[in-house]
């Protein structure tokens, strides 16, 4: 059996196993722990869903993440998993993010404490070698990394406002990272198993989170996902050279913002609108892009499908940028800027048209 066939079989089997494990774990939560992750019902927490549901679906993400780390040394090379400083940094920061999310689901932690923990997660990544490195100034790289990690952890958390949205968007981001792995022929990298495992965990979870959902991922899931996606974003979008082996700042910028377009646009829209009316961006509300699309007449299922479609279109443009555009120039910057601005306006404009219906 050739190495290629062996790898395909191993990764396919592991992906299927991850989906099944996630399905079983979340099924067990529903059957035996219907109150897990449900805060005090008297707490005034603004959620889109009128029903109280278990909010610890994110445990399956972290569990399969740990399984992926454990399985890799068995299937491949031990040293790459056991003595990999960057990998240990991702493990430590992901664990910290997971525990902070778990605490938030249980006790509704203060925003300032969450911010300090998110900064801590970013500093762990930086100290172990995972940081944005497209600028000549190291301090700027570190600052961008901290901003990126904090921003994405909050963006993924804020995006988790309607059934199936965050999990679906996150799966497409992970697929985009796997595409870059494929382009670079880096088939033995330990991160592949992490990407496949977490993607499988999300798909298994989506069975229960698709509208009408039976379970939420909670902050347990969104904080872990935000950190994990942020770290993978640094490795595979910010810092991966193009087809010519060059690291072009503007090119890496567009690859990244197109990949993460939905969480970036949603968070930016919510922040602009809340600041404009004098309210805090950090307090939950029914004023996200998803909610205003619902006010416009789309069903929750169609909104989820629309967001998946947007992510797939953006992924197609990323494939063009990464694999086929060799002579990057101002024309490409203009064209992809127009696409992103059009996408932003498409999702932002309903919030202006229907803002009187905002119940936040």
How many whole angstroms separate alpha carbon 58 and alpha carbon 66? 13
**How open is the CA angle 351-207-169, to the nearest 5 degrees?**
40
**Structure confidence at residue 244 as a pLDDT band (50, 70, 90):** confident
Determine the pLDDT at residue 165: 96
| Res. 125: pLDDT tops 70 | yes
| Res. 359: pLDDT tops 50 | no
- Per-residue DSSP letter, 246: -
Determine the pLDDT at residue 187: 85
| Res. 317: pLDDT tops 80 | yes
**pLDDT average, residue stretch 108-122:** 92
**pLDDT average, residue stretch 248-260:** 95
Determine the pLDDT at residue 323: 86
Determine the pLDDT at residue 360: 45
How many whole angstroms separate alpha carbon 123 and alpha carbon 144? 12
Contact 111, 135 (CB under 8 A): no
Which whole-number Å values give the CA distances from 51 to 35, 41, 108, in the listed order? 13, 11, 18
In this prediction the pTM is: 0.91
How many whole angstroms separate alpha carbon 210 and alpha carbon 166? 11
Instruction: Identify which has the larger pLDDT, 195 or 276.
Output: 195
Q: How much of the chain, in percent, has pLDDT values that exceed 70?
A: 90
**Structure confidence at residue 278 as a pLDDT band (50, 70, 90):** confident
Determine the pLDDT at residue 246: 81
Which whole-number Å values give the CA distances from 14 to 42, 60, 146, in the listed order? 42, 15, 32
Q: What is the pLDDT of residues 158-177, one digit of tens each?
A: 999 899 999 999 999 999 99
**pLDDT average, residue stretch 258-264:** 97
Which whole-number Å values give the CA distances from 83 to 80, 190, 194, 276, in the listed order? 6, 12, 16, 49
| Res. 257: pLDDT tops 70 | yes
How many whole angstroms separate alpha carbon 219 and alpha carbon 99? 10
Q: Which residues contact 290 (CB under 8 A, 6 or more apart)?
A: 48, 161, 162, 165, 266, 303, 307
Determine the pLDDT at residue 172: 96
**pLDDT average, residue stretch 254-261:** 96
Determine the pLDDT at residue 25: 94
Q: What is the pLDDT of residues 15-55, one digit of tens each?
A: 999 999 999 999 998 887 655 455 555 544 455 555 556 77
């Amino acid at each position: 059996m050739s190495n290629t066939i062996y790898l395909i079989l191993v990764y396919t089997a592991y992906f299927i196993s991850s989906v099944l494990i996630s399905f079983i774990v979340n099924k067990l939560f529903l059957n035996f722990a219907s109150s897990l992750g449900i805060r005090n019902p008297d707490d005034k927490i603004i959620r889109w869903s009128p029903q109280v549901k278990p909010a610890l679906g994110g445990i399956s993400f972290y569990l399969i993440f740990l399984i992926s780390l454990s399985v890799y040394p068995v299937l491949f090379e031990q040293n790459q998993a056991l003595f990999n400083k960057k990998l240990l940094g991702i493990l430590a920061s992901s664990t910290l993010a997971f525990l902070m999310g778990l605490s938030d689901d249980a006790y509704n932690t203060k925003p300032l404490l969450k911010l300090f923990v998110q900064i801590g997660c970013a500093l762990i990544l930086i100290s172990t070698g995972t940081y944005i490195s497209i600028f000549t100034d190291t301090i700027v790289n570190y600052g961008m990394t901290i901003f990126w990690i904090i921003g994405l952890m909050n963006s993924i958390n804020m995006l988790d406002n309607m059934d199936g949205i965050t999990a679906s968007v996150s799966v497409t981001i992970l697929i985009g990272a796997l595409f870059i792995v494929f382009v670079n022929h880096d088939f033995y990298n330990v991160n592949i198993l992490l990407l496949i495992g977490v993607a499988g965990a999300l798909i298994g979870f989506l069975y229960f989170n698709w509208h009408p959902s039976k379970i939420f991922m909670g902050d347990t899931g969104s904080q872990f996902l935000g950190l994990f996606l942020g770290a993978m974003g640094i490795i595979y979008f910010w810092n991966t050279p193009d087809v010519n082996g060059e690291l072009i700042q503007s090119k890496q910028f567009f690859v990244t913002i197109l990949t993460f377009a939905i969480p970036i646009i949603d968070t930016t829209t919510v922040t602009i609108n809340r600041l404009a009316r004098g309210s805090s961006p950090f307090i939950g509300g029914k004023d996200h892009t998803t909610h205003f699309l619902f006010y416009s007449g789309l069903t929750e299922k169609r909104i989820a499908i629309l967001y998946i479609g947007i992510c797939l279109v953006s992924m197609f443009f990323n494939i063009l940028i990464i694999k086929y555009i060799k002579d990057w120039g101002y024309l490409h910057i203009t064209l992809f800027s127009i696409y992103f601005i059009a996408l932003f306006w498409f999702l932002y404009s309903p919030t202006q048209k229907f803002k009187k219906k905002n119940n936040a």
